[in-house]
A and B are shown apart, each in its own frame.
Chain A
C-alpha cells in the first residue's frame, strides 16, 4: 500500500484552452436552384405522402427528389407565379398558394388554378391546413383566414374578432383548433356550430413580440412560436400560456422565419443569420456558426431519413444531416492524425491523446469547452497511447505501446503506472475493455482481467488481476476481449479465430467452423443476444449460438476493411471503416451508410482505440477533421422509398386518372422511377420486374425502363429500391396494366370469321354443285345438238335434195358431179370431226359453211347468195361452237321460199361490240318444216353455258338476224 502511494507520481500540466460554444456542423450540402444563371428564391417546403419534397419558389413549384429539381408547369406553359404555400390534403390533392393570392392544384403533374365562385384572395397565401371535418383552410397575408366548407368559402377577419388580417402561418392543434400567427399575436380559431370563434394571445398574455412569423408543433399540444424580433417561445395550448426559453431571452439573431422540432432538437431558421440548433432539454443554443451564416432561411423541413432541409433565398436547398453527426468541440486544434485513442467519460468529458502522447481531457465549464493536458512522464511521442478506458470508479486507464498501463484519477489528478502484474509491466497494450467491475486488457504479451473494487477509487490501492493462459486462449496476440450479456467471455485473436470462455472452459471457433478469416478485430452483441465480430478481410459474422452468418459486400457492406463494431442505443450494429460508417439493422439486415456525402471524412480505422461510445450509447470516431459523434436519427427510415414517377406510352405521359387498360397497338411503355433517399440519392440501386413478361428481377442503376412492343396481356411493373444489391426488405412500387387483344384476336371476331368461312364454304360447295350441273346440262345440250345436226343431215329431204342435185349434175356435168360428191363427203366428215368439240375457230366453221353453201348453191343456183364479210384475221381470232353457222344457214334455207323472184341473201358480219350477225331476208314458206325452232333454241342454250353474253334474235318481218356473241379462246 505504502509503496503504491510512494510510486504514484503527481505530475501535472494543466493547460486551459477556451473554445467557442459553437461547434462546427459537418455536412452542409447545397442544392442550387437557378434560372437564367440567377438563384431562384425558395419560399416554402412541403413533404408529400409520396415522399417528394415540393418547393414553392419565385419561379413556381419544383419537385425535388434529393438530387434534381423538376419544375411543375402550369397547364398553360406561359403562366408563372410566385409560390408561397404548399399543402397536401388527406385526399392527396396538392394545394399551392401564390403571392398573387391565387390557388392552384397539381393535376396530372400540372398546376391548374382553382377558380371557386367566390374568387380567390388578392393577397399572398401563406398557409393551408385541413381541419378535422376535412374543411380546407387557407391564410392570406392581408385578408385574414378563409375556409372552404361544403360548397362555400368563408372569410374570418376582424369582424369575427381576428386581431389583424396579416396571417403569416397557421396550423391545426392537437385538439382541432386553428392557430394562426399574425402581426398582432396568435389567433386561436375554432369552428363551433358553423361559426368561427376567435381569441387572441398577444403581448398582454406574455408573448414577447407582436409579430408572429411561424408556428411549429412541439408535441403535447404545445407549439413553438417564431417571432419577428424576439427569437422564439413556446405556447402551451392546454393552458394557453407562453414560456420563453432562456436561449431566446436576449435574442440577437434577428427575425426567426421557421422553426422545426426534431426529436430533442429545435432547428431555428433565421432571416439573415442562418440556422441555429436549440437542444431544448439541455437548454443549449448552438449557433452552428460558419456553415450557414448569412443564409436567409425561409423554411425548414425534415425528410424521412432525418436530414434537415433549409429553403434558402440564396443557395436553393441546403441539407444538413440533422444532428446525426456532430463534431466534438476540441479546443487547441490538435492534429487528429495523431489521435489513436478516444474516450467519452461518464460525465461527458472527452479524453484523447495528442501527438506527444499526453492525455487531453476536454470538458465544458461555464458554457465553454476547456482542455486539460495531462503528462505521463513515462510516455513520449514514440510510445503511443493505444487505448483509454474509464472504470466504474471513474478512474481513467491508459494503455500504451511498450510501456504498459497507467491509471489516472481525474478527481485528484493523481496518476501511477499499473505495476502489479509483471507480465504487463512494459507490455504493448492493444485494448482495454470491461463490463461492470471487471476490466479486460489485451496486449501482445497476453491478456488479463482486473477486478475493480470500490476501494480502488483510490488509485494507490492494489488491484486484483488474473492472467489468461495463452494456451487456453489460443494465442497471446489478442485484439479485444468482450464479455456478453450472458457472462460469456469472447477473445478476438489474431490468427486463431474466436475464443470463447464459458463456465471455466474454453472453446474455439476457427476456419474449421467455416470462418473465412481467423483474424478477429472486434466483437459486439446485439439486443437479441447474438454475437457479432469483424474479421481482417472477410467482413463481419453473426453468431446466433448455432451457426455463423457472414455479411459482406453482397449483404450491403460498403467496405470489408473494418476496424471496429459497436452496438448503438437504437440496437444497430455500427460498422466502422475508413470511408465511413455502415449502419446495419441486425433484425432486418438493412444497411444504410454515412460517408463523405453526409459530411464524414477519413476515419482512423487503423487504431482500434479510436472508436468509443459515450454515456448515451452514441458511437464516436476519430477522423482527420476531429472527433465525430453519431446518433441514430429517431423516427427515420434508413432506406429508399420506391416511387414510379411517371408511366409513358410512346414517350408521352399517361394521365394519372387514366384507367390502365390499353389497346393492342398501345404497346410501348416506359417507366420512370426513383428511389427517394435524401441522405445519399446516388447510393440507390433498383431492381425491376415486369410480371407477365419477365420471370426474374433485373438489378439496375437506371431510373427508366422501356418495354417496346408488348404483346396483349396483363402486366404488373414492379420496382424496388435499395441502398445496395440486397433487396430483401426493399420498398416496392408497382403499376398494373392490361393490353387488350386486337379485335381480330378476340373471341367474338374469331367466331364471326369462322361463321363467315363456313358460309363461304357452303356457298362455294353449292355453286360448285351448280357448276357441275351446268356442265352436265352443257354436255346434254351438246349431245342433243349433235343429234339435231345429224338428224338434219340425215334428214331425207336433205339427202333427197342432194341426190336429186347429184343426179341432174351427173347427167349434165359428170366432172362437177364428182366434185359435188367430194364436197358432200367433206361436209359429213367435218360434221363427224367437229361434233365432239366445244368450240372451233371461226375459220373452220366458215370453211364448213362454205362446203354446205356449195352444196346448196348447186341446188338453188343464183337464187341463194351468201355474203361473207368476215376478214381472215377475224376468222382466226374468234371462236364459235361447231356447226352453229351451218345450222343458221340451213334454217334460213329451210324456212324461206327460194326462187328467182324471192332470192335468199344471207349475210355474215361482225359488229363493233363483237357479235357475229347472221342475217337473211324473209320470204316465208307456206308450209312449215318440221323440227323448226329446235336448232335455234339449242344454239341459244349452248351459248348461255359458254358466255354471259346472250344470243340475240331479231325478226322485224323483213330480215331475220341472229347475233352470236363471239368467243375468244
Chain B
C-alpha cells in the first residue's frame, strides 16, 4: 500500500511538474490496442489517447488511458458491453501503469534499450504489481516506446458472464506504442 501511494504521488507529480524538468518525456496520444482471441470471436480495440510521462534520469514513469476512448470493436453493442458490463468505465474510468525501470542504465543517452519496469498496473480499479518489458529507442530528444504484455481478466476482478465464455479470452494481449518527446 505504501508503494501504491508512492506511485500515485509519482503520477501526480509527473503530470503536474512535467514541464519543469528537461529529462521528463511525455505523450498525450500514445496508442494502446488490445486483442481478445477467444475460440469463437476475435475482438480488437484501440485508443490513441494514452497519456504518459517518463523521467529518464530518475527512471520513473506513469501512463494512463481513458477506458471510454477505446474504439474498433466488432459492433457498437460490443463496445457498450465492454464499457458497461466488463470494465465498468463509469466507476473505473481509467487504467494506469506507474513505477520504476529496473535496469541500471543511462536512458538520457541516445540508443535502443530493452528495459523492464516494475510498477503497479491498475485496471478495473484493481492494482496488480507487474513487471512489463518494453523496447525504448531514444533519439534526438524523442523516445519511442513499444511494449507487449498480457492482462489476465481474473487478476483484475473482471468477470466474464458464462454465456460469452467462448467469445472472450481470459487473457487479453495488450500492445502499447508511443512517441514521447521532451516537455
The chain A residues found within 8 Å of chain B, CB to CB, are 117-119, 121-123, 142-143, 151-155, 157, 159-160
Contacts and interface: CB of A to CB of B under 8 A. Distances in A.
A154 B133 contact: no
B78 to A, nearest CB: 26
Given A151-B150, A152-B131, A153-B131, A119 B116 contact: yes
Contacts of A118: 116, 130-133
A183 to B, nearest CB: 15
A119 B114 contact: yes
A153 B128 CA distance: 12
Interface of B: 3, 6, 100, 102-105, 114, 116, 118, 129-133, 148-150, 152, 171
Contacts of B3: 159-160
Nearest to B3: A159
A143 B150 contact: no
A573 to B, nearest CB: 60
Contacts of B105: 122
Contacts of A160: 3
B102 A143 contact: yes
Nearest to B130: A152
B164 to A, nearest CB: 22
A154 B104 contact: no
A143 B103 CA distance: 8
A117 B118 contact: no
Contacts of B152: 151
How would you classify the secondary structure of chain A's contact residues: helix, strand, loop or mixed? loop
A121 B102 CA distance: 9
A155 B148 CA distance: 19
Nearest to A153: B131
B103 A154 contact: no
B133 A117 contact: yes
A117 B149 CA distance: 7
A154 B131 contact: yes
How would you classify the secondary structure of chain B's contact residues: helix, strand, loop or mixed? strand
Contacts of A154: 129, 131
Minimum-distance CB pairs A-B, first 7: A119-B133, A118-B131, A119-B116, A155-B118, A159-B3, A153-B131, A122-B103
Nearest to B148: A117
B167 to A, nearest CB: 22
A155 B105 CA distance: 18
B118 A157 contact: yes
A802 to B, nearest CB: 101
Contacts of A157: 102, 118
A118 B134 CA distance: 9
A154 B120 CA distance: 11
A847 to B, nearest CB: 91
Contacts of A121: 102
A152 B148 CA distance: 14
14 contacts: A118-B116, A118-B131, A118-B132, A119-B116, A119-B133, A122-B104, A123-B104, A151-B150, A151-B152, A151-B171, A154-B129, A157-B118, A159-B3, A159-B118
Contacts of A117: 133, 148-150
B36 to A, nearest CB: 16
Nearest to A157: B118
A196 to B, nearest CB: 10
Given A117-B148, A119-B114, A155 B133 contact: no
A837 B148 CA distance: 96
B7 to A, nearest CB: 10
User: Could you say which of B103, B114, B116, B118 has the most chain A C-beta atoms within 10 Å of its C-beta?
Assistant: B118
A160 B3 CA distance: 8
Contacts of A123: 104
User: Could you say which of A119, A122, A143 has the most chain B C-beta atoms within 10 Å of its C-beta?
Assistant: A119
B61 to A, nearest CB: 14
B93 to A, nearest CB: 25
A78 to B, nearest CB: 21
A160 B120 CA distance: 13
B171 to A, nearest CB: 8
A159 B129 CA distance: 12
B102 A155 contact: yes
Contacts of B132: 118
A159 B116 CA distance: 16
Given A121-B102, A142-B104, A157-B102, 8 more contacts: A118-B130, A122-B104, A123-B104, A151-B150, A152-B130, A152-B131, A159-B118, A160-B3
A143 B132 CA distance: 15
B150 A155 contact: no
Contacts of A142: 104
A555 B133 CA distance: 63
B74 to A, nearest CB: 26
Contacts of B100: 159
A248 B102 CA distance: 37
Contacts of A143: 102
B127 to A, nearest CB: 12
B6 to A, nearest CB: 8
B148 to A, nearest CB: 7
Nearest to B128: A152
A153 B131 CA distance: 7
B2 to A, nearest CB: 8
A867 B102 CA distance: 114
Contacts of A122: 102-105
A814 to B, nearest CB: 115
Nearest to B133: A119
A119 B131 CA distance: 8
Contacts of A119: 114, 116, 131, 133
B126 to A, nearest CB: 12
A159 B132 CA distance: 17
User: Could you say which of B100, B102, B114, B116 has the most chain A C-beta atoms within 10 Å of its C-beta?
Assistant: B102
A116 to B, nearest CB: 9
Contacts of B129: 154
A836 B35 CA distance: 94
Nearest to B116: A119
A121 B131 CA distance: 11
Nearest to B132: A118
Contacts of B104: 122-123, 142
B110 to A, nearest CB: 19
A155 B100 CA distance: 12
Nearest to B2: A159
A542 B130 CA distance: 69
Nearest to A152: B130
Nearest to A144: B102
User: Could you say which of A118, A122, A143 has the most chain B C-beta atoms within 10 Å of its C-beta?
Assistant: A118
A121 to B, nearest CB: 8
A123 B116 CA distance: 12
B175 to A, nearest CB: 12
A822 B35 CA distance: 112
A122 B116 CA distance: 10
Contacts of A159: 3, 6, 100, 118
A151 B172 CA distance: 13
Nearest to A154: B129
A152 B132 CA distance: 10
A119 B129 CA distance: 15
B86 to A, nearest CB: 20
Contacts of B102: 121-122, 143, 155, 157
A701 to B, nearest CB: 52
A121 B152 CA distance: 23
Nearest to A142: B104
Contacts of B118: 155, 157, 159
Nearest to A122: B103
Contacts of B133: 117-119
B174 to A, nearest CB: 11
A145 to B, nearest CB: 12
A155 B131 contact: yes
